[in-house]
């Protein structure tokens, strides 16, 4: 606290002066400060001096800085040489939201179409059924459970257009398909698989071994006239 020499009054601090100057003093403090200024010429002069200094800075700010346009900030981002092929090809498309949405919808439609019609078109599906009925030996399970069968089915589908050309509108049954040897082997396996699948589950399966067959443990004890492998080997040795 400062004491004014001329007037016996407690003068204000510099902190209070700047608080008042920048309008950051509470209303009650402002009234006291103003009443003090009216009575104390020293504080008034001090306040006037600070006000002048502030005005100069304020004008400097207004004339030089406030009038300036805010500069456009340009950040020199490094160009990435390692852009992926996906970014370089599809980057412009995905940068446009509408184009990206359209592309996604088109892709979804194509995938949906493949799911609904996996073999290409309806005509081919019908021809597969015709081939199956024309060749009872080539019957296969509808849904192949092994990769081998699936491979076989693929080969049949490829040959469908030729079969259609031979039999169109004639009502004549199709000739057997000429297949290579490995393919025939696969087909036999398929037939066995199909036969197994066609066997009713409730049917009693005949055991391979008869119930009255001698056990291996007491085989020597039984009278058995069947031909044995050891006997054959022994006979062949004696022949030699």
Partner 1 sequence: MFTTLTDEKLVELAVSKDSEAFGEIVKRWERKIFALCFGMLGREDDARDAAQETFIAAYRNLANFRGDAKVSSWLHRIAVNQCLTTKRRAKTRSEDFLDEETHEEDRVFMVPPHLSPLRTTEQNERLFYVRQAVTSLPTDLRQVIVMKEFEDMTFQEISETLELPLSTVKSRVYTALKQLRMKLERTPLEVA
Note the residues at the interface with partner 1 (CB under 8 A).
14-15, 17-24, 34, 37-38, 41, 44-45, 47-61, 63-65
Shortest reach from residue 49's CB to partner 1, in Å:
5
Shortest reach from residue 55's CB to partner 1, in Å:
4
Q: Which is nearer to partner 1, 53 or 232 (CB)?
A: 53
Q: Which residues pair with 10 in a beta bridge?
A: 3
Q: Which is nearer to partner 1, 15 or 142 (CB)?
A: 15
Shortest reach from residue 67's CB to partner 1, in Å:
11
Q: Which is nearer to partner 1, 53 or 233 (CB)?
A: 53
DSSP string, the chain: -EEPSSS-SEEPPHHHHHHHHTT-S-HHHHHHHHHHHHH-HHHHHHHHHHHHHHHHHHHHIIIIIITSPPPPP---PPPPTT--HHHHHHHHHHHSHHHHHHHHHHHHHHHHHHHH-TTS-HHHHHHHHHHHHH-GGG---SS--SHHHHHHHHHHHHTHHHHHHHHTTT-PPPPPPP--HHHHHHHHHHHHHHHHHHS-TTSPPPPSS-TTPPPSTTGGGS---S--HHHHHHHHHHH-
Shortest reach from residue 58's CB to partner 1, in Å:
6
Q: Which is nearer to partner 1, 27 or 122 (CB)?
A: 27
Q: Which is nearer to partner 1, 22 or 77 (CB)?
A: 22
Shortest reach from residue 3's CB to partner 1, in Å:
18
């Amino acid at each position: 606290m400062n004491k004014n020499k001329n007037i016996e009054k407690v003068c204000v601090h510099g902190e209070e002066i700047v608080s008042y100057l920048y309008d950051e003093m509470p209303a009650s403090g402002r009234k006291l400060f103003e009443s003090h200024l009216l009575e104390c010429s020293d504080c008034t002069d001090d306040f006037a001096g600070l006000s002048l200094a502030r005005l100069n800075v304020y004008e400097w700010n207004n004339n030089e800085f406030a009038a300036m346009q805010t500069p456009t900030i340009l950040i020199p981002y490094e160009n990435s040489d390692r852009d992926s092929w996906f970014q370089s090809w599809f980057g412009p498309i995905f940068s446009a939201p509408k184009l990206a949405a359209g592309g996604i919808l088109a892709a979804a439609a194509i995938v949906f179409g493949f799911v609904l019609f996996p073999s290409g078109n309806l005509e081919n599906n019908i021809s597969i059924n015709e081939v199956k009925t024309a060749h009872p030996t080539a019957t296969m399970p509808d849904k192949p459970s092994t990769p081998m069968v699936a491979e076989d089915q693929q080969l049949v589908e490829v040959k469908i257009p030729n079969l259609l050309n031979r039999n169109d509108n004639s009502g004549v049954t199709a000739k057997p398909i000429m297949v290579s040897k490995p393919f025939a082997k696969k087909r036999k396996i398929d037939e066995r698989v199909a036969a197994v699948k066609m066997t009713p589950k409730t049917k009693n399966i005949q055991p391979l071994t008869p119930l009255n067959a001698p056990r291996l443990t007491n085989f020597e004890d039984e009278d058995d006239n069947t031909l044995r492998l050891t006997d054959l080997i022994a006979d062949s040795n004696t022949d030699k």
